[in-house]
Chain A
Amino acid sequence: MILPWLILIPFIGGLLCWQGERFGTTLPRWIALLTMSLLLVLGLWLWATGDYTLAPAPGAAPLWTSEFRLSWIERFGIEVHLALDGLSILMVVLTGLLGVLSVLCSWKEIQQKVGFFHLNLMWILGGVVGVFLAVDLFLFFFFWEMMLVPMYFLIALWGHSGSTGSTRITAATKFFIFTQASGLVMLVAILGLVFVHYSQTGVLTFNYADLLKTQLEPGTEFLLMLGFFISFAVKFPVIPVHSWLPDAHAQAPTAGSVDLAGILLKTAAYGLLRFALPLFPNASAEFAPIAMGLGVFAIVYGALVSFAQTDIKRLVAYSSVSHMGFILIAIYSGSQIALQGAVVQMIAHGLSAAALFILCGQLYERLHTRDMREMGGIWGRMPWLPAVSLFFAAAALGLPGTGNFVGEFLVLIGTFPQAPWITVLASTGLVLGSVYSLIMIHRAYFGPARAEGALLGLNTRELSMVLGLAGLLILLGVYPQPVLDTSAASMQGVQQWLSTALTQLVSAR
């Protein structure tokens, strides 16, 4: 019974925030903080008490740690069907954590329409939790599309107007159209799958467990898989369809960037792991080389473009493209180690990207620019912030001791036996990663100072946010075992689906 509450809490909290504005601008912030803390605590409690050796695996009805079913639209056999396994709980906890942070980081930044802002923020997070819990394909799509609207408002209404002609509304609209149109392609694919299942069994259902049993013709399976992949690829983002990401990041308020990079991108990886691979294992196996190629391209291209940016938020945004490439490779490698690495990388990137965007936000509040050409010499002008930035830049380049290292290392070592060349090329991403990370530090914090005078230091709220994230990232780097244990069963299931299909594919050739 606790699962629907994980979704309802943010939605109700959001409405309270909206109405709470009548009693001043501080109340919505506290309500939002409380809501997100509640979500985080509930998530942690579920993590501590649940049995995460249960997860869906091929050949049997999916097992879940916790499940909730309620009939919804009987005409189509649609249910409010939520379920939790190791992968979902990790993502839910990450959502709760970044939710708390995104409320904290907007404490000073957002001064207008505070109640409405937090309504949107809470609803995004509620939608994201819904995506992570839904195992009814209609419900999944419902949340997938639904979270776009508040995100759109967040960027369009509280965003920063742009550096070079592009306004926040353009960026928000671009984000919305990319994701919405690709979402409709997924809806068509979902319905295609449902009707194939209907023609075989005579039962109209959107239930994950039932649809897993559908027998698909190879051609149909490939097309349906492609429908899912296109939608996830846009969110991921994979290179040809990534162009919304830097714009959206650059114009979004800090909280928007934190959510976007930290969790919205992870919904795509989650979708691939939960739906695309298990539902269409054979087509995915066939598609794996292309997907991995796209992943490598994303790593290298993202890193190179990142290096060329002058806007610090765009730089971090492109580095996300690069880091997500590792996850894409791992997902299609069919190796248990790499898949585990992908989960660690998802969490580590969630934390480090969130921290970098928070730091960018703090810098922006002090300098009112994101252009690195107008920064420089900040190291001497303020304490803490440059040093912490250096830490997270090091984390982003995969320095041992941070979670990013564990994630990337596991991905590379797991992928190597399957696809050595892909791995070799992907490793260059680490080198390029250090180039753009260090150049960011160099341009922004070293060199001659542009202006005299000390900048306002970080206050307790700001400092505790970034130091907390740094602590978690180190914890993940030196002791990732709890995370690995939690996701092991889920990843084993995914690995079995894909590797069976991969072996069949090899023997067929």
Chain B
Amino acid sequence: MQITTQQLIALLPLLITSATIVAVMLGIAWKRNHSLTFILSVSGLNLALLSVIPAAKVAPLAVTPLLQMDSFAAFYTALILVATLACVTLIHAYMGDKSGTPGYPGNREEMYLLILLATAGALVLVGAQHLAGLFIGLELLSVPVYGMVAYAFFNRRSLEAGIKYMVLSAAGSAFLLFGMALLYAESGSLSFASLGNALAPDGVQGSLIHVGIGLMLIGLAFKLSLVPFHLWTPDVYEGAPAPVSAFLATASKVAVFAVLLRLYQISPATSGGWLNDLLSLIAVASILLGNLLALLQSNLKRLLGYSSIAHFGYLLVALIASEGMAVEAIGVYLASYVLTSLGAFGVITLMSTPYSGRDADALYEYRGLFWRRPYLTAVLTTMMLSLAGIPLTAGFIGKFYVIAAGVESGLWWLLAALVIGSAIGVYYYLRVTVTLYLVEPKLQRRDAPLRWNLGSGGIMLLLIALLAFGLGVYPQPLLELVQQSGLLVG
């Protein structure tokens, strides 16, 4: 098979990321240096992000039967790279630097290697147009994350979370593989498009197909932590180091959702009513259960974990709508969600910076933060309001879009669940917010470093908050971007 220059350009983001991985690996082998590794990773990721522009110019283009570079993939590639960049910056702050503070006691550099590997997996995933590509991407994304979750292995919780994630994620992958095998047995093909043709209503209609699709759905639902496959989420979010939780909540989930969206749009098996019913059920359960369980949390990371379950329930509403502006709605919602989650986990990261055993994630540690770190509190407030979907934040635009998609398709029951879920959600987001402003207790506490806003992590966080606010006030640029990245079906 011949690979043309055009195809190489289309693949450029992935190629640059992979080259960065090799460079970082060699760099670590040559000389261990935290700052050097960080700079290498960041410049590689930035280059990859820049190369999305030429790649988007040649799109749509199929590169090998496995991957497809179209404007949809370009948008999600960019989103994932931005999220990874933010996470890498946070990791750098979290691990601590050499000046004075001890920071993370073990080897720091491998973390960058792992996150870059996972990112490469995510990039494969958003471009996948073949079940083999999907599986390669998913595993390349998941396996390094086991290591990242357990990276703070001195800490029992981190280790436990890593093992838990590994076992459950492997179980999810097994379901996925089995589902793929059944689909292959029935249709004789693995590419999305020919699967779609084979499974069209007038095509093959074996009972194995239903089982196969169901099993694949279970596998993906594991990764997206949708109810009832959500049990790992709070524990892993709590146990993992804060920047890793940020990566899990953003880049990892975005990639899986993007591939689910592509599969759902291309494979007409979705036109069968039962899959929609099943997804609706999962959506309602995720929204209600995620929000209700989040009410009971007093740990910020667990709370965000449960809230992410609910948010992916909202996204499923748009996925089920699947026509009109649904694809756009998902793009906008994911972009705003990524921004918001990065901000929220970013604040937790900076509060826990530099690494010292346990992360500052208990809610009481944030009491009265406003009177000590006003700007950091403003960031977290914006993020909480954005998660709750209050106007003047990006989250509101996302929620507006999802509701619009739901109304357009007349999904009244799902919208009812969404409204109830949001009402419940407001309660715990506000609880967090108001805690920040209460009078501070006379307890010993941890705080972000005094000059937190001078580091790269702090600057990035302020930028994210400004962006979340700016997109809430004037979302037109984001909407245009997403509009151009529609998914061409067929």
Contact = CB atoms under 8 A, between A and B. Distances in A.
Interface string B398-423: 00100110011000000100111011
A187 B427 contact: no
Contacts of B407: 188, 191-192, 195
B404 A180 contact: no
Given A142-B391, A181-B423, A156 B400 contact: no
A181 B430 contact: no
Contacts of B392: 146
Contacts of A75: 476, 479-480, 483
Nearest to A196: B407
Contacts of A16: none
A157 B390 contact: no
A74 B385 contact: no
B437 interface: yes
Interface in A438-482: none
A421 to B, nearest CB: 36
A76 B478 CA distance: 13
A142 B473 CA distance: 10
A12 to B, nearest CB: 14
Contacts of A191: 403-404, 407-408
A187 B400 contact: yes
B485 to A, nearest CB: 13
Nearest to A169: B434
Interface string A69-101: 000111110000000000000000000000000
B385 A149 contact: yes
A146 B392 CA distance: 7
A256 B244 CA distance: 42
Contacts of B431: 173
B387 to A, nearest CB: 13
Given A146-B392, A181-B420, A74 B430 contact: no
B475 interface: yes
A180 B388 CA distance: 10
B430 A176 contact: yes
A419 to B, nearest CB: 33
A382 interface: no
A173 B391 contact: no
Interface in A341-395: none
A434 to B, nearest CB: 39
A184 interface: yes
B154 interface: no
A133 to B, nearest CB: 16
Interface in A169-210: 169, 172-173, 176-177, 180-181, 184-185, 187-188, 191-192, 195
Given A152-B430, A187-B403, A188-B407, A181 B422 contact: yes
Given A176-B430, A187-B403, A145 B390 contact: yes
Contacts of A153: 434, 437
Contacts of B404: 76, 191, 195
B293 interface: no
The secondary structure that dominates the B interface is helix
B292 interface: no
Contacts of B170: none
Contacts of B480: 75
Contacts of A188: 403, 407, 415, 419
Interface string A133-166: 0000010011101101100110011000000000
Interface in B430-468: 430-431, 434, 437-438
A176 B426 contact: yes
The secondary structure that dominates the A interface is helix
B422 A180 contact: yes
A372 B269 CA distance: 69
Given A156-B434, A188-B415, A74 B426 contact: no
Contact of B391 (A74, A146, A181, A195): A146
Given A145-B390, A146-B391, A188-B403, A181 B419 contact: yes
B274 interface: no
Given A75-B476, A192-B407, A185 B419 contact: yes
A173 B430 contact: yes
B427 A72 contact: no
B391 A145 contact: yes
Nearest to B439: A112
A330 B1 CA distance: 79
Contacts of A76: 404
B375 interface: no
Nearest to B475: A73
A138 B472 CA distance: 13
B435 to A, nearest CB: 9
A146 B396 CA distance: 10
A151 to B, nearest CB: 12
Contacts of A176: 426, 430
A184 B400 CA distance: 9
A76 to B, nearest CB: 8
Given A180-B422, A184-B423, A185-B419, A146 B434 contact: no
Contacts of A157: 434, 437-438
B427 A173 contact: yes
Interface string B376-398: 00000000010010111000100
A257 to B, nearest CB: 19
A72 B426 contact: no
B415 A180 contact: no
A159 B119 CA distance: 48
A51 B364 CA distance: 57
Nearest to B482: A75
Contact of B476 (A74, A169, A177): A74
A23 B407 CA distance: 50
B257 to A, nearest CB: 22
A191 B415 CA distance: 12
B285 to A, nearest CB: 20
A278 B212 CA distance: 53
B390 A73 contact: no
B426 A180 contact: yes
Contacts of A156: 430, 434, 437
A177 B427 CA distance: 7
Nearest to B412: A188
Nearest to B324: A195
Contacts of A185: 419
Interface in B282-314: none
A74 B476 CA distance: 7
Contacts of A181: 419-420, 422-423, 426
A195 B403 CA distance: 12
Contacts of B419: 181, 184-185, 188
B394 to A, nearest CB: 13
Contact of A195 (B388, B408, B423, B479): B408
B109 to A, nearest CB: 43
Contacts of B391: 141-143, 145-146
Given A173-B431, A176-B426, A177-B426, A72 B408 contact: no
A134 to B, nearest CB: 12
Nearest to A141: B391
A297 B419 CA distance: 28
A72 B403 contact: no
Given A146-B391, A188-B407, A73 B479 contact: yes
A141 B438 CA distance: 29
Interface string A47-84: 00000000000000000000000001111100000000
A138 B391 CA distance: 11
26 contacts: A73-B475, A73-B479, A74-B476, A75-B476, A75-B480, A75-B483, A138-B400, A141-B391, A145-B390, A145-B396, A146-B391, A146-B392, A148-B390, A153-B434, A172-B434, A173-B427, A176-B430, A177-B423, A177-B426, A180-B422, A181-B420, A181-B426, A184-B418, A187-B403, A188-B419, A195-B404
Given A156-B434, A157-B437, 8 more contacts: A74-B476, A75-B480, A75-B483, A142-B396, A146-B392, A173-B430, A180-B390, A195-B408
In order of increasing CB-CB distance, the 3 nearest A-B pairs are A181-B423, A191-B407, A146-B391
